[in-house]
Structures are given as structure tokens and as C-alpha cells.
Structure 1
Amino acid sequence: MRLLFLGDVVGRAGRNAVVERLPSLRERWRLDFVAINGENAAGGYGITEAICDDLLNAGADAVTLGNHTWDQRETLVFIERQPRLIRPVNYPPGTPGRGANLIDTPSGRRVLVINVMGRLFMDALDDPFAAVDRELDACPLGQVADAVIVDIHAEATSEKEAMGYHIDGRASLVVGTHTHAPTADHRVLPGGTAYMTDAGMCADYDTVIGMQKEESLRRFLQKTPGPRMEPGLGEATLSGVAVEIDDRSGLATRVAALRLGPHLEESWPRFWD
């Protein structure tokens, strides 16, 4: 099975890049499943129903979220009727939406997608490790799920790495989001789980983590309130991670970074070309 995960989509530039490029990438690489983090898709702050539909129609099978999940108030409503929009699983009981879902692929395989938020330097939520354990116990890889993707939306590298090792052998891919800077540590862990500390962002990289430089710099230099930060408007780079998994075990056999666009050195899964 061939999986693709795309990092945080930031604003219109990131959305346009995904909508324009994902359909051809899905066909070119014969992708079985695509997941995208969309928590910054609406002007950098949350996601709307129309934007979620655009990402799904472009070829995403699931859209994950993070600490900006509720920035658009409409998400509180439409997330209940959109099973492929997945918010962090460790929100308190009774929170709208779902933190994990088992999604059928066109080929008949089933992929469990889990979104979880870290606690170091983030909002205080329930224990992310226990929350993920519960989902994996309820839907184990190789028995119920043909593949498992875990998006850990977290600030600390240590917390993301700890999650990777904690569930190594029980998930196909553990990938970090939130910091918007793609890391170079993609690899297959000893137990067979593909891992990457941060997938980066689908956004204009001539920015400060996707936001226009001027206001970001002013805030650091002056330390005074100012206007709302806005996403960069330049051409976006797609960033993420590609994984090939064994159809019998659901574990990873190959992993590669994806970076397509200006400002960063391009990289793609050459084993699929």
C-alpha cells in the first residue's frame, strides 16, 4: 500500500498548491491513501466546511487538525457530519467530532487515522499516549486495520519521538505536525513503523512559519500588539512524507520526504517513479 501524508496547509497559497497538484500526484504514484493536516487552512486559523470539501475533493482521504481546530466556529457543527475530518483524540469526552476513524480505501483496504495533540508547551489535554493506546487496542494493525497513520500535533521533538517509539510496530506511520519546518529524520523504526518528526507545511516558505514576514518580525522586534498575522501569498511548496507499507503486516518498508516547490530543495519518493 502507498500512503502520502501532507503537512499543515497554511492559507490560500497552501490550499491552491494541494488542489492543483494532488490529483496528478495521486495518479502518478498510484496512491492508496492520502491524509492532510488542515488546521491552518482557513487563513492560517482553523478550517471551514468549504475548505475541507476542497481538500477531500482534490484527493485527500482524511484531514487532521490540531490546536487551531476550533478557530472557525462552524467547525463545531460540521465536524459532526464529516467523518473524514479528524480532531485530536485526547480532547475531553463530549467534545464534538472524532479523534480517530477507520476509513475504507477505493481498493477495499481499511486505514485507521488517529490525530493526537502533545502536551509539552501546548494546551493541557488528556494523556496523548494513553489516548492513542486505546485507539490501537480497539482497532489493531493487521487485524482490523490494514494501515494506521498517527498525526501527533506537538511542539516538542522529544514528545513526538517518544510517541514514535511507544507505538513502534503498532502503526504504519507516526508523523509530527505543528512546527511547520520539515525535518530530515524520516526513517523506519526498529519495529517497522515509519517516522518523521515534522512533515513541514504546504505553504509559502518565504515567510515565518507560513505567515507574512513583516508582522512576524515586528512582533519580535517591538513586543507590542499589532494586526492579525496573515498567511504568505507567494507560491507554495508541498511538504510531507511518503510511505510504502507491506500489505500483509501493515508495517513500513520504505519512507521518503516530499518537498515540491520553490525555496526548499526538492525531494520526492523516487522509488515510486
Structure 2
Amino acid sequence: MTDLWLRRFHPADDAPARLVCLPHAGGAAPFFHPVSKALAPAVDVLAVQYPGRQDRMGEPALRTIEELADGVTQALLAWLDLPVVLFGHSMGATLAYEVGLRLESRGTPPEAVVISGRRAPSRQVNEKVHLRDDDGLVSEIEGLEGTDPKVLRDPELRELFLPALRADYTAIETYRPSPGPLTAPIHAHTGDADPHAPVEDVQAWSSHTRGDFTLTTYPGGHFYLINHVPAITDALLKLTTSGV
């Protein structure tokens, strides 16, 4: 694959549908490698790689959800030969919603949008983590318990990942939703103890679709899905291969 935006870890050329996975703030495509491995070859999985990290380290990280959503949408245009389900965690959930709106406006709607660990756009709060100093930004990430502490404590590694992380937080904390709602159904998943995505704020995604809405909760916090990979992949498999 030559497109910088997409990674296809386990190509499934004969799959009936395609799942597009969008990472959290500071995240990268390999976060979804376990999901891709579990779903292949029944589902063709594409994982999004944002600019400014890993093999895209030489590119400037984008600082708005609009730019990120436009880039992902453009990259997906060559992959719409199969039914597409969008799946995003945290910041990736917001991006999945925005990409879904863009695809619908082009007349190529997704089959469904799967939201994980993110409050609805109508439940935005005024957060300013992106304005903190480096230690303050790292402290926020430590509290989410989704990043290896060794990475956070290593000065050289911090210097590498902090610019992209700050750009992502800038994007999500300055986000203003595009006009909606989606026509596609929204299926939401979240941890029942996530301080950044309270269950009632995730339930509010129901007002952002004209289609069906479901909400599934799991024990855990913001990165609940790390401990519930089998349940998540089972839900994605059923959704993606059932004709939605």
C-alpha cells in the first residue's frame, strides 16, 4: 500500500466488507493490529496512520479535526468498492463521525459508524490540556493508563511523540462539529468508569444519527478496550459481516 494514511496489516481480498480503524490522540495505526489479526480474513481491516508519528514523523502533525477528516476521507476514496464500517476510539471516534458525514455528502455513505470512548459532539466540554506544558501533557496521558510508562519517562521518546500528541489535543479541544446528523447507524462502546466519556455523554450520540443507535458498556476506564479485545472484535465482526 502506497497511501501514507492507511495500513493494511492482514490483507483480506475476499472479504465481503471493510473496517476502517481510527486511533486515539497520540495513537498510531499499530494500536489496531490485534483487531486486524482477529478479524482477518473475514473482514478487510484498514488502520489509519495520522501525520507526525512513526513512519510519518517527518510530516507536520495536523492541528484540526477538519484537516484530519479531509485527509482520511480522501485516502478512503480508493477503498469504497466494499461496504465500509468506520470504527474510532476517543479522538478517532470524533474523526469517524466526521469522515462518515463527508462520505455521506459524496453519496458514498458508510454502512455504520462505531464510536468508542468518546462523548457526543453535543456534549463538548471546555478542555485546555493542549495549552499545558510538557509535564502537564504527560500527566494527562499517564492518568488515562493507555501508554507504556517507560515511554512517558524517556526524555528522547517524549521529544519524539509530544509534538503529535499536542497537535491531537489541539485538534480535539478546538473541534466544532460539522452539520449533521448522520444517516448511518451509530453503535457506541465505552468503559463504565471513563471520566472523559461518562456513559450519559456517550448515550447522547443517539441524537447524531437518523439511523439506529446502540450503546454497549464494559468494565473499565478510557482504555477499557485493551482488556476487552475479544468482545470488541466479536461485535465488529457481527456488525461488519451481517449486512448492517
Length-normalised TM-score, structure 1: 0.34
More helix, by proportion = 2
More strand, by proportion = 1
Length-normalised TM-score, structure 2: 0.37
